[in-house]
């Protein structure tokens, strides 16, 4: 409430009737009201910068947000908040703050260009990828490092983990660590992200499938040349024909019962498919 009142007081009042003498007094007085605001903003900005260097990010953010409340149309508070997030490596949050500020700050404000640069810098930092996996001994990477940071990501339900897209080196090491990829899919999932990885998939679980061509299209459009284990939650269809040369393990689940049919694969491949 106080900051909105202060902001209103600092605006030039509309003058329905004006004389030069008193109009000058009004203009000069309103201009002087801005001086304490700029002093406070400058002080808060310096303190937020120092707090950031001391890694007191919570207090620094508090000052940055106070700057925005005192003067929501100036860029200074948004630039400071973006810098605080960027110092922590939170580039997406820095970008979001810049976008918010660019929508609120007057384009004529001298800090508008600084806000644009802060957004560009955060975007560049966000796009940087450090490939340290390629520099470490393979044994450490495969047996320790990858299982540690991908412990909960071994089974993917919607899309490949972002770690798979850092670099080709990361992808190869991850695949080596897990002896191939184990993927869980649902017929409503977008499978386009799996196309570059299809030849490395060794285990595929179709958790739900009804009717239509989704499963047929999945097998037809992806090179599942390494697929060994296939589990389908509902219907088993003729799409198995496209993987009959590599498939060695098949489970059919219906009504909670699981039937493992290792001994029927040859028969199915030769005659039924």
- Which carries the bigger pLDDT value, residue 64 or residue 156? 64
pLDDT at 9: 52
Q: For residue 92, give both structure tokens.
A: 């997406």
One domain, residues 155 and 267: yes
Judged by average pLDDT, the poorest of 58-72, 99-113, 172-186 is 172-186
Alpha helices (H) along the chain? 2-9, 20-53, 57-70, 76-87, 91-104, 112-126, 138-140, 146-149, 168-178, 214-221, 265-267
Q: Which of 61, 91, 126 is where one domain is finished?
A: 126
**Cα–Cα distance list, 242 to 43, 89, 96, 216, 267 (Å):** 69, 46, 46, 9, 15
Q: What is the DSSP string of 14-40?
A: P-SS--HHHHHHHHHHHHHHHHHHHHH
| Domain housing 72 | 2-126
* pLDDT for residue 3 is more than 70: no
Please give the average per-residue pLDDT across 210-216, as a whole number. Answer: 69
Assign 80 to helix, strand or coil. Answer: helix
**Torsion angle, alpha carbons of 216, 222, 228, 233, to 10:** -40
One domain, residues 203 and 119: no
One domain, residues 58 and 139: no
Q: Positive or negative, the Cα torsion across 251, 254, 259, 262?
A: negative
* The model's pTM: 0.47
One domain, residues 153 and 187: yes
One domain, residues 99 and 206: no
Phi, psi of 215 (to 5 degrees): -70, -40
Q: Which of 126, 142, 170 is where one domain is finished?
A: 126
Q: Which of 91, 126, 161 is where one domain is finished?
A: 126
Instruction: Give the DSSP H/E element, type plus range, for residue 233.
Output: none
One domain, residues 36 and 142: no
Where residue 66 sits, what CATH number does that domain have?
1.25.40.10
Q: For residue 101, give both structure tokens.
A: 């500020």
Nearest of 196, 262, 190, 195 to residue 229 by alpha carbon? 262
* pLDDT for residue 256 is more than 70: no
Please give the average per-residue pLDDT across 121-148, as a whole number. Answer: 80
- Which carries the bigger pLDDT value, residue 162 or residue 9? 162
One domain, residues 8 and 23: yes
Number of other residues whose CB lies within 10 A of the CB of residue 124: 10
Give the residue carrying structure tokens 């459009």.
Answer: 221
* Number of domains present in the structure of the chain: 2
One domain, residues 93 and 145: no
pLDDT at 16: 53
One domain, residues 195 and 101: no
One domain, residues 76 and 181: no
One domain, residues 98 and 163: no
One domain, residues 26 and 107: yes
Phi, psi of 183 (to 5 degrees): -120, 140
pLDDT at 100: 95
pLDDT tens digits for range 146-188:
777 766 555 444 455 667 766 777 788 888 877 788 888 776 6
Residue 78: band (very low, low, confident or very high) from pLDDT cuts 50, 70, 90: very high
d(CA 184, CA 245): 21
How much is the mean pLDDT over the chain? Answer: 75
Q: For residue 137, give both structure tokens.
A: 């001994």
């Amino acid at each position: 409430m106080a900051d909105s009142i202060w902001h209103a007081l600092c605006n030039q009042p509309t003058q329905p009737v004006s004389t030069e003498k008193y109009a000058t007094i009004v203009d000069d007085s309103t201009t002087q009201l801005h001086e304490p605001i700029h002093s406070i903003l400058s002080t808060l900005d310096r303190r937020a910068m120092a707090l950031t260097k001391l890694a007191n990010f919570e207090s620094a953010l508090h000052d940055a947000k106070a700057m925005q409340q005192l003067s929501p149309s100036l860029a200074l508070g948004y630039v400071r908040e973006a810098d605080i997030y960027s110092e922590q490596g939170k580039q997406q949050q820095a970008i979001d703050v810049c976008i918010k500020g660019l929508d609120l700050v007057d384009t004529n404000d001298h800090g508008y260009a600084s806000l644009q640069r802060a957004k560009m810098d955060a975007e560049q930092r966000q796009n940087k990828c450090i490939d340290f996996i390629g520099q470490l001994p393979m044994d450490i990477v495969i047996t320790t490092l990858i299982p540690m940071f991908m412990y909960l990501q071994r089974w993917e339900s919607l899309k490949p983990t972002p770690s798979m897209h850092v670099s080709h080196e990361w992808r190869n090491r991850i695949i080596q660590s897990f002896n191939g990829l184990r993927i869980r899919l649902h017929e409503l999932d977008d499978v386009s992200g799996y196309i570059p990885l299809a030849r490395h998939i060794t285990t595929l679980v179709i958790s739900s499938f009804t009717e239509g061509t989704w499963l047929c299209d999945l097998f037809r459009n992806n090179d599942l040349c390494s697929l060994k284990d296939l589990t389908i939650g509902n219907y088993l269809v003729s799409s198995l024909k496209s993987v009959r040369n590599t498939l060695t393990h098949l489970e059919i689940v219906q009504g909670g019962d699981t039937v493992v049919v290792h001994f029927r694969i040859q028969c199915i491949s030769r005659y039924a498919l």
